[in-house]
Structure formats: structure tokens, C-alpha cells
Amino acid sequence: MPRMSETRNLLVVAHNPSPNTRKLVDATLRGARHEDIAGVDTRYLPPLEAGSDDVLWADAIILGTTENFGYMSGALKDFFDRIYYPCLERTEALPFACWIRAGLDGTGTRIAIGKITTGLKWKPVQETMILHGDYRDEFEEQCEELGMLMAASLEARII
């Protein structure tokens, strides 16, 4: 049982191959590291650099990906391929949230991530955000709010 004074850990694993997706990651981290939130350590890693130790470190996780060919990015898929069995049965009920940046759709990615996270028995904090269509600045606001929500929920021990 963690002590009340213990730092909570938030892991952000997001693929950002374009200027717009880099802005989405920045916005997510800006929210998560908001100055009004204390006692939360936020770690960002691109999917190819994140591993099972990072997931085991985390008290909650935010995933971010582009949709490529109707599926999550190969980088995020590689992350899941590597962490799935080492984390299975060790990260049950891990709270998570996800954003998907898609040109048009995003559904295939949402379904695929849903299946994998259901297998891991992770707990969705909110519905997956699909940021699709032409890029809009409001996507950054949504990502910032998501980062803040996750960090504030960890701080308040709601999750």
C-alpha cells in the first residue's frame, strides 16, 4: 500500500513523427506537468525507447499514436509486442488513456489498442480521443487537458 507522501508516476508513451504530433506530445506533457499539480513524476518516452520496466514503474499511462494504414503506428505496436508478456498479470488495472492522431479515421487504431489493453486488463480513465481531420489547434487543448486530468487524478489518488 503506497504511503500518502509517495510520488505517483505518470508514463507518456507517444509516437510523434510530424511537427503536429510533436505539438500534441508537448501539450500532453504541459498538462501533466502543470505547476498546480504536485507529487507526480511524468516520464515521456517514444514507443521504441519504452519498455516493460517503464510500464512497471508507472502508476498510470498515456498512450499516443498516429493512425497508419488503419492501425496504430508500427512503433507503438512494437512497444506492445515487447511489454505484453512481461507486464501481463503485473499491471492489472493500470489506469490509462489514449489519443490517436488520424488523417481521416482512427477507428482501426482505437479497436486494436482496445483489444490489447483489454488483454492486459488495463483500466481506461476516459474514452480514447480520436483527433482526426485537418489539424486543429484545439487538439493541443484536448491533449493538455488529458495530461492534466491524468496527473491531477494521480495526485488526488482518484486513480
Ligand X SMILES: Cc1cc2nc3c(=O)[nH]c(=O)nc-3n(C[C@H](O)[C@H](O)[C@H](O)COP(=O)(O)O)c2cc1C
Among 58, 101, 128, 155, binds ligand X (CB under 6 A): 101
Q: Is residue 84 near ligand X by the rule CB under 6 A?
A: no
- What minimum distance in Å lies between the beta carbon of 52 and ligand X? 26
Q: For residues 126 and 103, give the distance between their C-alpha atoms in angstroms, rounded to a whole number.
A: 22
Among 46, 124, 135, 145, binds ligand X (CB under 6 A): 135
Q: What is the dihedral of CA 66, 135, 33, 55, to 10 degrees?
A: -10
Instruction: Compute how many other C-beta atoms are within 10 angstroms of the C-beta atom of residue 136.
Output: 11
Q: Is residue 41 near ligand X by the rule CB under 6 A?
A: no
Instruction: Kindly indicate which of the ranges 16-24, 34-42, 86-94, 144-152 contains the residues binding ligand X, using the contact rule CB under 6 A.
Output: 16-24
The CA distances from residue 65 to 87, 92, 109, 143, in Å, are: 20, 22, 9, 12
Whether the Cβ atoms of residue 11 and residue 62 lie closer than 8 Å to each other: yes
- What minimum distance in Å lies between the beta carbon of 134 and ligand X? 8
Among 11, 12, 42, 66, binds ligand X (CB under 6 A): 66
Give residues in contact with ligand X (CB under 6 A). Answer: 18, 20-21, 66-70, 101-106, 132, 135
